[in-house]
Amino acid sequence: MSADRDQQILIFAPIGRDGPASAELFRSAKLPAINCRNLPDLVSEMNAGVGTVFLAEEGLFGQDTTPLAQWIERQPPWSDLPFVILTSHREQPAVVAWRRGIVALLRNVSLLERPVQPITLTSAIQSAMRARRRQYEIRALLEAREQTAQQLEKLVVERTRALEEANEQLRLEMNERTRVEETLRQAQKIEAIGQLTGGVAHDFNNLLMVISGGLDMLDRQSDPARRRRLMDGMVQAAQRGASLTRQLLAFSRRQTLRPEPVDVASQMGGMRELLDRSLRGDVHVEFDFPDTLWPVEVDPGELELVILNLAVNARDAMPNGGTIVVRGENLPDLNDEQIAGDYVRLSVVDTGVGIAPEILSRVFEPFFTTKEIGKGSGLGLAQVHGFATQSRGAVRIRSEVGKGTSIELYLPRSLSVPSRERHLIDLNMVRPKKNNHGRILLVEDDDEVAALVSEMLGQLGYDVTHAASGAAALGALADGRAVDLVFSDIMMPGGMNGVELAREIKRRRTDLPVLLTSGYSEAAVHDAELAGVQILPKPYHIDELAAALSAVKAERDTESKRSHRR
């Protein structure tokens, strides 16, 4: 549809001279006009383009106006074609009704009654053309808006595609970052393992040097005093090795803890003498515990070891002396990223040199230490971390260079009443006796350990029979050999460990007590506790062995008395 056709005036006045005269009038006013001979021609020209339509009403009398009505109905929303109709003076009711129908059909209609002045007709046509041009302007605006919308939609699609590409790139970068972080964590793990193995090797080589060298020198010395010094050195080395192993297990959270309700103030008060011996004379310890301090659910022995470690660290951080404050506080309804509930905060605060920020994040790493070589293994704070975590708590550290350090243990509150007795058995009071205490079946696969333990049991007055496996032990019991007690290691070859052996013995001979020992086996230790079998942790002294054997036999005697009463 051309712009020129949009300005055309279509004339339909097929009767008389109205059509040609009107066309001449409009052309003289510089208005393009087309004279249509019949109604189909008019509709065809309207399809080609039209500005307005001038009709003589008598040209429509008796005509089928359906094509015209259909064209009007199909107009786009912006279009409302104006019609100018030249009417007659005929006012008969039928004509008036027909005229109303034509006005309703054509919708946008201006009526001019004959006779009409040329200027009036020209003015009416020009007014209709102006209205039609406004419609075309609206059409142009709508088309521009539609084009803009399409361009905007295209831009949105392009931007969406660009955003998807950016998101995909971001996902790739995030995946790459995750991979790099995982690689970094693995590298840090390897570095930590390297520190751990290097530190363990260094410390244990020193201990083995003392023991192996002392044993080598022992046969070369005849002076009792020198032999005694060598023996003392080897004993101290063995104790240091046991302590180091215990710290390693605590750090790895594999140390078997025996939590119970503990009165912190009472437990710390019992450590006063130990702390005074461990600290220098210019370092003082103050306790700050309120009377309302809750009991906590922890292993009391491990708690003492942790406080001792923290106190020694605080002492080393105060080369010119100072004060260590051990403080307890109740924290009801604590809730943070690690723990939630009622907790007791146990703080060890010093006024020492403090810890630099770049070091603070590494203090709980195994074998990380700022002390001189030989002054510390770097396992003290690692053990504190392991103990706190295994006790269902947490540990935090706050420090400022030049002002001191505060290490805070968060321990779970116990709703049970603590026992008033801090130590049920005083191991130092047990002394080996030479009289015969009975017959023991020792089950141990390591020949050297078996020889040493046999010697210890002999010193305690026991007759010893040795079996190297669980199957051998059951065989020794099956052949009718007299045995009063079975003392077995937990970890053994042959498909049967110490716990399984104890269960089988209890099944066969309910009256025969069993004592187990282990250096480390958390799962087996748990199974042993479920089976009701006592465990003596390795390494142990002869006094500890004597106390454990006595406790097992006493438990057997108590059970026997209960059975007789029944």
Location of structure tokens 């709508």: 142
- CATH number of the structural domain spanning residue 56: 3.40.50.2300
Q: Are residues 390 and 445 in the same domain?
A: no
Instruction: Establish if 224 belongs to a structural domain.
Output: no
Q: CA-CA distance, 80 to 73, in Å (whole number)?
A: 10
Q: Are residues 402 and 434 in the same domain?
A: no
Total residue count of the chain as it appears in this document: 566
Give the DSSP H or E segment for 47: helix 39-48
Q: Are residues 11 and 72 in the same domain?
A: yes
Instruction: Establish if 299 belongs to a structural domain.
Output: yes
> Would residue 382 be called left, alpha or beta, if left means φ above 0 and alpha means ψ between -120 and 50 degrees?
alpha
Q: Are residues 64 and 9 in the same domain?
A: yes
Domains of the chain: total: 3
- CATH number of the structural domain spanning residue 276: 3.30.565.10
Q: Are residues 87 and 29 in the same domain?
A: yes
Domain boundary among 60, 93, 116: 116
Instruction: Establish if 304 belongs to a structural domain.
Output: yes
Q: Are residues 264 and 400 in the same domain?
A: yes
Let me know: does 52 contact 84? Beta carbons within 8 Å.
Answer: yes
Q: Are residues 270 and 406 in the same domain?
A: yes
Q: CA-CA distance, 491 to 509, in Å (whole number)?
A: 22
Q: Are residues 440 and 558 in the same domain?
A: yes
Domain boundary among 412, 438, 471: 412
Instruction: Establish if 305 belongs to a structural domain.
Output: yes
Sheet containing strand 462-467, strands side by side? 462-467, 438-443, 485-489, 514-518, 534-537
Instruction: Establish if 253 belongs to a structural domain.
Output: no
Q: Are residues 395 and 524 in the same domain?
A: no
Q: Are residues 434 and 407 in the same domain?
A: no
Q: What is the structure's pLDDT at 239?
A: 72
Instruction: Establish if 235 belongs to a structural domain.
Output: no
Q: Are residues 376 and 433 in the same domain?
A: no
Strand ranges inside 350-403, DSSP E:
394-400
Q: Are residues 366 and 499 in the same domain?
A: no
What is the DSSP code (8-state) at residue 337?
A: S
Mind listing the pLDDT tens digit of every residue in the chain (566 residues)?
555 778 899 999 998 888 999 999 999 999 999 999 899 999 999 998 899 999 999 889 888 999 999 999 999 999 999 999 999 877 888 888 898 999 999 999 999 988 899 999 999 999 999 999 999 999 999 999 999 999 999 999 999 999 999 999 999 999 888 888 777 666 655 565 555 555 566 566 666 766 776 776 777 777 888 788 778 778 877 776 776 666 555 545 445 567 889 998 888 887 776 676 667 667 888 899 999 999 998 888 788 878 887 888 888 888 888 889 999 999 998 888 788 899 999 999 998 888 888 777 677 665 555 554 444 444 457 778 878 888 888 888 888 888 889 989 999 998 888 866 543 333 333 344 445 778 999 998 887 778 888 888 888 889 998 988 888 888 888 877 789 999 998 887 777 888 889 999 888 888 899 999 887 655 566 777 777 888 888 778 888 888 999 888 888 777 766 665 55
Instruction: Establish if 97 belongs to a structural domain.
Output: yes
Domain boundary among 116, 142, 173: 116
Domain holding 513, by residue range, is: 429-565
Instruction: Establish if 393 belongs to a structural domain.
Output: yes
Long-range CB pairs of 552-558 (<8 Å, 24+ gap) are 552/485, 552/513, 552/514, 552/515, 553/438, 553/484, 553/485, 553/513, 555/513, 556/511, 556/513
Here the tokens at position 9 are 């005036």
